[in-house]
Structure 1
């Protein structure tokens, strides 16, 4: 073990040796929390490239971690897997199927910026 290698205790790094920054102890500012499933089935259906599209669109619109913006989080399985990639928006309680970059761009523009759910992307026709 070198001087820069953290000491391991039962496969874990000692808490006092984990890199930390003060802002990592705060919940980022946001109005909506968006969770994109990155479970195995959603990843097979293209969730990871969609993550990049969502993040880029939100950054361009200055809506990442701002008072009127979005906390964008990757989650594991949210179900229903066969309808993925699945994305949820809270507190609006909207569940979406986001199949491609165009869907992701529309969702950002219409729901996350303009505040209107996108009916044709909602799972099972549910309404918030």
Structure 2
């Protein structure tokens, strides 16, 4: 018996709005923009921990509000892909679908990691 094993490595296309970052720099100055971004990233990180805990414990009802918050914070600093997938997570959680929540959670992690890398590489910031 011959078995073919196929390995699938998920990849995500991440959209980062550098114009939003430039807008923050114009509004707050470079140092101020860095502070805004760092505060948002810290807030997003804490919120993602809350979501992860809720997913692991099958507490779907705890996810929607936190996912909406992540979406808003991510959009504020230009992480458009993370904002979109966090919004999707909130929608399926609102419907009570734990299987979909776990699938979308995996996307949130992948996109979140890539989005953070794009923020750190953004020109004009010294993070």
Higher Rg: 1
Fold conserved (TM > 0.5)?
no
> Normalized per residue, which structure has more helix?
2
Length-normalised TM-score, structure 2: 0.30
